Amino acid sequence: MMHESDKYWEIKPDTSLFDVKLKETLEYRDLLWLLVKRDFVSFYKQTILGPIWFFLQPIFTVVIFSLIFGGVAGISTDGLPKPLFYLAGVITWNYFSDCLIKTSAVFRDNAYIFGKVYFPRLIMALSIIFSNLVRFGVQLLLFILMMLYYYITGMQYHITQYLILFPLLIMLMAGLGLGLGMIISALTTKYRDLAFLVNFGVPLLMYSTTVAYPLSATPARFVSIVKCNPMTSIIETFRMGFLGAATFSWSMLAYTTVVTLIILLVGVIVFNKVQKNFIDTV
């Protein structure tokens, strides 16, 4: 803290695990936006297609899902056009998984910065959430353009009142990815194997949600397992709001909200505890 008489900064560990220094973090908002810009520019700086990859990645995924799950397996899409159904799941899952995977490497990837200069460590994690939000916005635009195409061609779908829950869904995806990411990032300072587990485990975890199939087509013995994944209710609510066809449940959404808040709280506690001395172990 700053003493007016002494005119110097005293940097010391947090005294409370719950003290995230939100006021101090807000004072570093300029740094936050610089980091967001850096993440966006550096990732595509040396690519030929640049930000076009924002569109290509979900399009390729939707094509594969349409061929395998919609064509070969013949799994229902609740009467929705296959590309719309799959794209709704893909873009929501992509935002969550990108937040989780990139946040889980915050300590490991930024140790060289943390060891040289002080700033609220939470800024790094938040910059990932916001930079991925830009990518999500671009992919959402692709989804809306596809909705317009199918509307013009007369395909059946309809927007419902559940669309007003969209801001809540964004906060839940961000909070869930941030919380889990902070927990894993803290643990990887001692257990490096978790980094490998996250990289191949998160893509596999997608198949425990309704990204590639509707909850209504899930075998009865697996329904409870799929519902336990908090991303399931987010995807189903997204489809219900934008397309009017999904298995929506207030109890499922409430479950996801409670789980997200708990994970986020645990993530903050673990993150605050580890950031005090992680530089000695990372």
- pLDDT at res. 233: 95
Nearest residue to 187 via CA among 195, 179, 175, 196? 195
The set of residues, in sequence order, having a beta carbon less than 8 Å from that of 187 and lying 6+ positions away, is 194, 270
Considering only residues 268 and 96, tell me which one the structure prediction assigns the higher pLDDT: 96
DSSP 33-54: HHHHHHHHHHHHTT-SSGGGHH
Considering only residues 119 and 17, tell me which one the structure prediction assigns the higher pLDDT: 119
Half-sphere exposure for 199 (CA within 13 Å, toward CB): 7
The set of residues, in sequence order, having a beta carbon less than 8 Å from that of 7 and lying 6+ positions away, is none
Q: Average of pLDDT values for 64-78? A: 86
Considering only residues 37 and 235, tell me which one the structure prediction assigns the higher pLDDT: 235
* Highest-pLDDT range among 50-64, 99-113, 171-185: 171-185
- pLDDT at res. 47: 58
* Highest-pLDDT range among 45-54, 199-208, 273-282: 199-208
Digit-coded pLDDT (tens) for 259-276: 999 999 998 888 777 766
- pLDDT at res. 175: 94
- Whether 2 has a pLDDT exceeding 70, the answer reads no
Digit-coded pLDDT (tens) for 198-255: 888 888 899 999 999 998 888 888 899 999 999 999 999 999 999 988 889 999 999 9
pLDDT band at 50 (very low <50, low <70, confident <90, very high): low
With beta carbons less than 8 A apart as the criterion, state whether 85 and 150 touch.
no
pLDDT band at 277 (very low <50, low <70, confident <90, very high): low
Q: What is the DSSP letter of 72?
A: I
pLDDT band at 10 (very low <50, low <70, confident <90, very high): low
- Which structure tokens are listed for 220? 């009865």
Q: Average of pLDDT values for 156-184? A: 92
